[in-house]
Structure 1
Amino acid sequence: MSQFPTKDAILQWIADNPTLTAKRDIAKAFGIKGAARIDLKRLLKEMEAEGLLSKRRKTYRDPESLPPVSVLTVLAPDKDGDVFAQAMEWHGDGPEPRILMVLSEQDALGPNDRVLARLTATPDDPDHAYTARVIRKIGTNPQRILGVYRSGSEGGRVLPVDKGSDREWIVAPGNDRGAKDGELVEAEQAGPKSRMGLPKARVVAVLGDPTAAKAVSLIAIHQHAIPDHFPDAVVAEADAAKPAGLKGREDLRDLPLITIDPSDARDRDDAVLAQHDKDPKNPGGFILWVAIADVAHYVTPGSELDREARKRGNSTYFPDRVVPMLPDSLSGDLCSLHENVPRACIAVRMRIDAEGRKLDHQFKRGLMLSKASLAYEDVQSAMDGHTTDKTAPLLEPVLRPLYAAYEALKRARLARQPLELDLPERRIVLSDSGEVTSIAYKERLDAHKLIEEYMVLANVAAAETLVAKKTPLLFRVHEEPNPDKLDALRDVAQASGMVLAKGQVLHTSHLNRLLAQAEGTEHDEVINLSTLRAMTQAYYNPENFGHFGLALRNYAHFTSPIRRYSDLIVHRGLISAHHWGDDGLSPWDIENLDETAKIISDTERRSMMAERDTTDRYLAAYLSKSIGTEIEGRIAGIARFGVFVKLEGTGADALIPIRTLGAEFFHFDAESQTLMGSDTGLTIGLGQRAVVKLTEATPVTGGLVAELVSLDGQMMPRVSARPHHRRGGGKPVRRKAGVAKAKAAKVKRKVKRTRK
């Protein structure tokens, strides 16, 4: 072993090597092995207690701004009792900004406490530059519990809603935040855990009625067993992370990269740039840059962060909250590409020609600095002639080239013919109390489509690079529809008077022709939904089976490593393939790639189900005020037990039970997707216009039940439900199956087929 290092030597090493500050890195640097590691651990803890390890040399210069999520050190209250804080990550040349802490009743902070906080700039306030609200105290990670509060004579108890937990938590008097018996509450551990007796908790949020809107996403989280609490070891690793330095990276800070995200974005993991290619051999071509947060630098193979991220698989998004794959200090701070803050990235430089075809590409591990964090709406508004102080300086040098390159990418997309489904995404707007205030469809702007095309191209480049370098990876696989589902889609198309050709190798262009036939007709939404149902579920796999929907041979997820573990694996593959460091794919990663693919495919489906269930419950809560109201919609599904109607305005699906359609027997024809009355011949099929009266809305289950009022403008007869007894002097109900089928066949033959 080399001579045991002094404190000054260790501090110098950390200053010179900001990316190699873990205990194992220091031990390796000074040749410390075996039992001597115990002495090193003791020395490091001593230095941490003395505050020495917080001192680090500034390795690069920052503009005068702070990230929206930052680690702060709390200062002593001033003479007026106000509490200010100091930013741990400040590299500006000017004076450090004053940060006013906005504290709630439960924020018990003292001088020198470290907190993770969300910052809000206050440019018009001369007293301070930011206000800060505590996300959590660094070094504390109390367990959270969701449960029903039960009041008692001396305090109360919380009964967790989690099926896997049968123990109660004691709530001392004064720690109930006014919760009433039977209300749903969110509580956290109070005091140290004890082996004796029930654990103690304090209520941190009263959610009220367990069936109310504010409780919906929390219930979904627990029902689907989505991990929403980070273990202490994971949080400790995240808190110990420091900004990456320039060592071993290419300096990309001069590139005018920008991020474009939703206005309420919780993280920013991709930045873009387009430049006109000055090469005379590529007239009208462009150079595109896509820079992605270098999450692999912070989440290394085998670490506690890595194991937790793999278990979660992805972040899960709800209308009122997000369950992140990584702790806030990473997902909202160090790994988020905030404007004017240096951030580690893996970037790809791509050249395209005037027709949008990729000519070549090159990956780089670098340090970038986003010039602006923009919202989709702001970008689109600027391109439409309505600039702001923020977008005006970016319009000509940055935004217009982005859109010009997008026009070229659109031409390449048209030639490739990916599946062009038109399924608007619903947007649920909540009030501060968690109540649904409105349901709307998200507007699809060119700014959204632009980012999608840039990301698709970067994902293709990542897959092609790893395939060429024979590096293991996880492909994003989307296989062709199976024949049975295609036959069902053909039946729906035929019932709607359209054609999907049979007897040939299916390509996305064939499906696009069907979608084009339906566009602008009354069958538009039904054909789009039916086409979606015919598709297979996309998944992750180490083997490449192609991506049918995108019409791409090589495709992998590279652009969202903050919220998808698959992308982190691809990043590690790129690090290994380019020999950028020792934080690439580990032997364990490669050996367990099949298992990882299955885990993250399953967690993705779990999140989708939780998000869908949450949306259904919010819709049911919103529509519960409309019981007895007549609502327009279209027939979107036919089953033996009833009819599903997609309601206009909300896109919610309401069930019309078959027993409410009348006293006659209804024959279900799976081939034509119809229900036909045996006595009246009334035929109900996909795409028909309907008016329904909402009779039930159950927020707990998300179920909606309705009665059919009119069909294609014709009022339904007011008849009672079909009786369970036989009628007509004991004779059984006549079920004219043959006649009904003949009528269905006749209807199908008479269908007018339209082509475009």
Structure 2
Amino acid sequence: MNKNNKTSNLRQQDPFLQREQQRYEKPLPSREWISQVLEQIGVPLTIKKLAKTLSIHRSEFDFFERRIKAMVRDGQAYINRAGNVCTAEKLALIKCKIAAHKDGFGFAIPLNKTGQKDLVLYARQMQGLMNGDIVTVRPSGFDRKGRQEGQVLEIIERANTDVVARVYMEHGVWIAVPEDKRLSGHIILEASAKQPSVQSGQVVVVKITAYPKAHHPAMGVITEILGNYADSGMEIEIAVRKHHLPHVFSDACLTASKKIPKTVRKTDLKNRVDLRDLNLVTIDGETARDFDDAVFAEKIGRNFRLVVAIADVSHYVPEGLAIDIDAYERSTSVYFPRRVIPMLPEALSNGICSLIPEVDRLCMVCDMTITSTGNIKTYQFYPAVMHSKARLTYTQVAQWLESKETHPLEKEINTLHKLYQVLSKKRHQRGAMEFDGQETQMIFNDEGKIERIEPIFRNDAHRLIEECMLCANVCAAEFLLSHQHPALFRSHLGPTTEKLATLQEQLALVGLHLEGGSDPTPKDYAQLFTQLEGRADKTLLQIMLLRSMQQAVYEPNNQGHFGLAYDAYAHFTSPIRRYPDLLVHRAIKAVLHQQTYQPKHSWQEMGIHCSHEERRADEASKDVENWLKTYYMQDKIGEVFEGTISGLTGFGLFIMLDGLYTEGMIHISELGQDYFNFRPEIMAIEGERTKVSFKLGDRVVVKVARADLDNCRVELLLISGGSKGKTARTKTIDSHNTKQKESKKPHQQKNKRAPLKKPIKNNTNKSKKKQAI
């Protein structure tokens, strides 16, 4: 065969040709085949030469060029400075997302390579980059800490088009300072552009017109004035834009949501099990607005029957339509104090998909038989129609269980409680961890200011619902695995080698040891958790243990859930507020209909996306909470409090203040008449001359010196504390006098804050009962 014939046949040899023919009337060579041909040729080619090699007709060239550029955008290929196309695999190129640090360095997080660790980027490599940018990176050497470094070759996609910032006039030039500290460098506002009337210090949204280069800052124009920094609710407006949270539903989505029926129709009942006579109830927090799960239990001989009914969101949200597109973009509801950004429009989340009492609702059911020893003997999934008999609260159910008072649902609630006791015992046998972290809620006054911060105490009603949800989630994972159907699993891995070594060193300093050697099991962790009871540093040690494990993620490869001690785990119970749950529902339905669910995006891509959106929502919520707590501390400047050392760093101590559930910091230079150094080998900050030391869990007395809203930081001064017989400061105070307010200096007076338009008296945060580790 001559060379020309061989070349013309190259296109016909594409192993994915049939797939391309199904998608396109005039199919181009597949991406996989283009990469393979480039690798076989062994040298980079221009797009024109590559097109000739693959027999691309002149009329097809524009489309072929777009495909090549799409491959570059997705990190599958790279076009070098000479204009030649190279395969990403050949050059070891990785498509990454930039995670910038406020100190100038950053990390390149791989997007489409499993098992590839993050690559560190130092200041010179970060020049011209912004947090969230999508780039092509080539691994280079290793730094002194043994971390893989990276070299950024190309910026594929800019993440920041609009930035929330505060504006100032400096030397006759308007500059915008981003609220996101990871966006280092100021943005110069274009003098030639027509800017809206703005006052110095106001919060605005700036559209970037020119991105930063090596020695030139970014340029931009103001597109929206949000208001003054201390306006009520501004912290949420900033967080939403800072973290680029989708918060406005598309017109197409809102139009589609108006067509959603408000009641269950007769046509919806086809092929559904009728559970309307079953005493299913919802149990949630007092302030919950959407109810996506209902439970029922009964005793059958020695076994229990547990029915977990979940709102059938997938019935109303077909894949690929407007509501689904918006839901996937959000991937999760975001909960702030006093405000929720829902994943689904209100017509669904608070309407037809909310299991409110005394109305018919469509649901997906996990119907289980559980033995007296807590083992799930059998289970089945099916679509159903239900009629909730009551909307109960945790407090109400806990009071019923404690007082033994009679009520219409006494039999069902008592049976649920007995089942919980069985499941709780099984949980301990399994080796799942019992983390009793202290959750809090903010109580607001009519002006939108925090009146107080209260602890949330978990009771048996919380734990009862949690165990029911865990059972359903485990069954969902097993069901999909047994039918070999792809899905997103909730994977949670144990400690890495590095984190485990650090943890063992830290535990040794407080007289503890984690069993299991180099490969501890969940049961080893759970056993250590039990040893923390009664210790003053219990909460700090629990956090230390949790941080030693890897972060839970969504991924198609089931790797089990270390924290819960499950071999397989999937999220099934909250499709109103979590997109992965909606995907699990669709997959289960496909299996029930003996079909295979093929989503629009790849499972791997969806897992990465949903995990990222979850982290982004958590970061935004944390930002708002920290700002509100800092604002709360403004009128406590000069007051004295007792507290516990909750963290140690090279620059100081973090103190959790008693009764305020707020953390403050003492700078290392403020610890006393000595030079203090952080000594990680003994987990302490120690004075060179006095040998006075500060360790995790130590008690101190402090005074509130400053509440810095710009950096969301409460600065403290040490009054007394420290070990080795001496205190870092000689001043002491009586315990009964630790909250006496000292007179404020004029410059310490707090900013006045504009009142809310409508008084809000409580927190609208949904309980985190079902959010597993």
The TM-score normalised by the length of structure 2 is 0.65
Q: 1:423 to 1:296 in 2, by over 3 A?
A: same
Q: 1:692 to 1:181 in 2, by over 3 A?
A: closer
State the Cα distance separating 1:343 from its structure 2 match.
0.7
State the Cα distance separating 1:182 from its structure 2 match.
7.6
**1:102-147 per-position Cα deviation (integer Å, ceiling 9, x unaligned):** xxxxxxxxxxxxxxxxxxxxxxxxxxxxxxxxxxxxxxxxxxx999
Which residue in 2 is equivalent to 1:380?
A: 398
Q: 1:185 to 1:681 in 2, by over 3 A?
A: closer
Q: 1:209 to 1:715 in 2, by over 3 A?
A: farther
Which residue in 2 is equivalent to 1:393?
A: 408
1:563 aligns with 2:577: yes
Cα distance in 1, alignment partners of residues 692 and 647 from structure 2: 17
Which residue in 2 is equivalent to 1:496?
A: 510
1:477 aligns with 2:487: no
Are the equivalent residues in 1 in contact too, given 2:514–2:520 (CA < 8 A)? no
Cα distance in 2, alignment partners of residues 346 and 220 from structure 1: 35
Which residue in 2 is equivalent to 1:272?
A: 295
1:336 aligns with 2:335: no
Cα distance in 1, alignment partners of residues 375 and 569 from structure 2: 16
Are the equivalent residues in 1 in contact too, given 2:721–2:729 (CA < 8 A)? no
State the Cα distance separating 1:502 from its structure 2 match.
5.9
Q: Which amino acid in the other structure matches residue 248 of structure 1?
A: N
Q: 1:654 to 1:548 in 2, by over 3 A?
A: same
State the Cα distance separating 1:229 from its structure 2 match.
0.3
Q: 1:693 to 1:241 in 2, by over 3 A?
A: same
Report the secondary structure of 1:631's partner residue.
Answer: strand
**1:286-337 per-position Cα deviation (integer Å, ceiling 9, x unaligned):** 0000000000011111111111111111000011110000000110101111
Which residue in 2 is equivalent to 1:258?
A: 281
State the Cα distance separating 1:199 from its structure 2 match.
13
1:229 aligns with 2:240: no
Q: Which amino acid in the other structure matches residue 425 of structure 1?
A: E
State the Cα distance separating 1:715 from its structure 2 match.
3.9
**RMSD of aligned Cα (Å):** 3.2
Which residue in 1 is equivalent to 2:378?
A: 360
Q: 1:199 to 1:701 in 2, by over 3 A?
A: closer
State which of 555, 559, 565 in structure 2 corresponds to 1:541: 555
Which residue in 1 is equivalent to 2:100?
A: none
Cα distance in 2, alignment partners of residues 169 and 386 from structure 1: 67
State the Cα distance separating 1:380 from its structure 2 match.
1.0
**1:145-194 per-position Cα deviation (integer Å, ceiling 9, x unaligned):** 999999xxxxxxxx9999999999989xxxxxxx99987799xxxxxxxx
Cα distance in 2, alignment partners of residues 608 and 257 from structure 1: 32
Cα distance in 2, alignment partners of residues 183 and 343 from structure 1: 47
**1:395-429 per-position Cα deviation (integer Å, ceiling 9, x unaligned):** 23x21111111111112111111112221112112
Q: Which amino acid in the other structure matches residue 344 of structure 1?
A: L
Q: 1:213 to 1:422 in 2, by over 3 A?
A: farther
State which of 346, 366, 369 in structure 2 corresponds to 1:351: 369
Are the equivalent residues in 2 in contact too, given 1:492–1:686 (CA < 8 A)? no
State the Cα distance separating 1:604 from its structure 2 match.
0.3
**1:4-36 per-position Cα deviation (integer Å, ceiling 9, x unaligned):** xxxxxxxxxxxxxxxxxxxxxxxxxxxxxxxxx
Q: 1:512 to 1:230 in 2, by over 3 A?
A: same
State the Cα distance separating 1:490 from its structure 2 match.
1.9
Cα distance in 2, alignment partners of residues 334 and 225 from structure 1: 29
Q: 1:467 to 1:707 in 2, by over 3 A?
A: same
Percent of aligned positions that are identical = 36
Are the equivalent residues in 2 in contact too, given 1:636–1:646 (CA < 8 A)? yes
Which residue in 1 is equivalent to 2:729?
A: 717
Are the equivalent residues in 1 in contact too, given 2:439–2:455 (CA < 8 A)? yes
Are the equivalent residues in 2 in contact too, given 1:694–1:705 (CA < 8 A)? yes
Are the equivalent residues in 2 in contact too, given 1:301–1:586 (CA < 8 A)? no
Q: 1:428 to 1:700 in 2, by over 3 A?
A: farther
The number of residue pairs the alignment matches comes to 533
State which of 338, 341, 348 in structure 2 corresponds to 1:323: 341
Cα distance in 2, alignment partners of residues 147 and 497 from structure 1: 48
State the Cα distance separating 1:212 from its structure 2 match.
4.8
Q: Which amino acid in the other structure matches residue 618 of structure 1?
A: L
State the Cα distance separating 1:259 from its structure 2 match.
0.4
Which residue in 2 is equivalent to 1:595?
A: 605
Which residue in 1 is equivalent to 2:481?
A: 467
Q: Which amino acid in the other structure matches residue 234 of structure 2?
A: A
Are the equivalent residues in 2 in contact too, given 1:213–1:436 (CA < 8 A)? no
Q: 1:654 to 1:213 in 2, by over 3 A?
A: farther
Which residue in 1 is equivalent to 2:650?
A: 640
Which residue in 2 is equivalent to 1:606?
A: 616
Q: Which amino acid in the other structure matches residue 264 of structure 1?
A: T
State the Cα distance separating 1:675 from its structure 2 match.
1.6
Cα distance in 1, alignment partners of residues 223 and 620 from structure 2: 29
Cα distance in 2, alignment partners of residues 542 and 149 from structure 1: 45
State the Cα distance separating 1:632 from its structure 2 match.
1.4
**1:595-622 per-position Cα deviation (integer Å, ceiling 9, x unaligned):** 1100000000001111111111111111
Report the secondary structure of 1:587's partner residue.
Answer: coil
State the Cα distance separating 1:381 from its structure 2 match.
1.3
Are the equivalent residues in 1 in contact too, given 2:638–2:703 (CA < 8 A)? yes
Structure 1's unaligned 5+ residue stretches are: 1-144, 151-158, 172-178, 187-197, 720-756
State which of 215, 220, 226 in structure 1 corresponds to 2:239: 220
Where do residues 42-121 of structure 1 align in structure 2 (5 Å cutoff)? none
Q: Which amino acid in the other structure matches residue 532 of structure 1?
A: L
Are the equivalent residues in 2 in contact too, given 1:301–1:585 (CA < 8 A)? no
Are the equivalent residues in 1 in contact too, given 2:692–2:722 (CA < 8 A)? no
State the Cα distance separating 1:461 from its structure 2 match.
0.4
Structure 2's unaligned 5+ residue stretches are: 1-162, 169-176, 206-220, 732-773
Q: 1:180 to 1:448 in 2, by over 3 A?
A: farther
Q: Which amino acid in the other structure matches residue 616 of structure 2?
A: R
Q: 1:693 to 1:329 in 2, by over 3 A?
A: same
Cα distance in 2, alignment partners of residues 665 and 700 from structure 1: 28
Q: Which amino acid in the other structure matches residue 286 of structure 2?
A: S
Which residue in 1 is equivalent to 2:703?
A: 693
Q: Which amino acid in the other structure matches residue 439 of structure 2?
A: E
Which residue in 1 is equivalent to 2:566?
A: 552
Are the equivalent residues in 2 in contact too, given 1:474–1:597 (CA < 8 A)? yes
State the Cα distance separating 1:498 from its structure 2 match.
2.1
State which of 669, 688, 697 in structure 2 corresponds to 1:659: 669
State the Cα distance separating 1:247 from its structure 2 match.
1.4
Cα distance in 2, alignment partners of residues 337 and 146 from structure 1: 38
Are the equivalent residues in 1 in contact too, given 2:693–2:722 (CA < 8 A)? no
Are the equivalent residues in 1 in contact too, given 2:669–2:676 (CA < 8 A)? no
Report the secondary structure of 1:597's partner residue.
Answer: helix
Are the equivalent residues in 1 in contact too, given 2:166–2:179 (CA < 8 A)? yes
State which of 277, 285, 300 in structure 1 corresponds to 2:318: 300
Are the equivalent residues in 2 in contact too, given 1:269–1:561 (CA < 8 A)? yes
Are the equivalent residues in 2 in contact too, given 1:212–1:621 (CA < 8 A)? no
Cα distance in 2, alignment partners of residues 199 and 668 from structure 1: 44
Please say which of residues 543-552 and 376-385 is displaced more in the overlay.
376-385
Are the equivalent residues in 1 in contact too, given 2:630–2:713 (CA < 8 A)? yes
Are the equivalent residues in 1 in contact too, given 2:504–2:513 (CA < 8 A)? yes
Cα distance in 1, alignment partners of residues 516 and 648 from structure 2: 24
Cα distance in 1, alignment partners of residues 330 and 276 from structure 2: 32
Q: 1:566 to 1:710 in 2, by over 3 A?
A: same
Are the equivalent residues in 2 in contact too, given 1:635–1:646 (CA < 8 A)? yes
Q: 1:320 to 1:180 in 2, by over 3 A?
A: farther
Q: Which amino acid in the other structure matches residue 598 of structure 2?
A: P
Report the secondary structure of 2:666's partner residue.
Answer: strand
State the Cα distance separating 1:200 from its structure 2 match.
12
Report the secondary structure of 1:434's partner residue.
Answer: coil
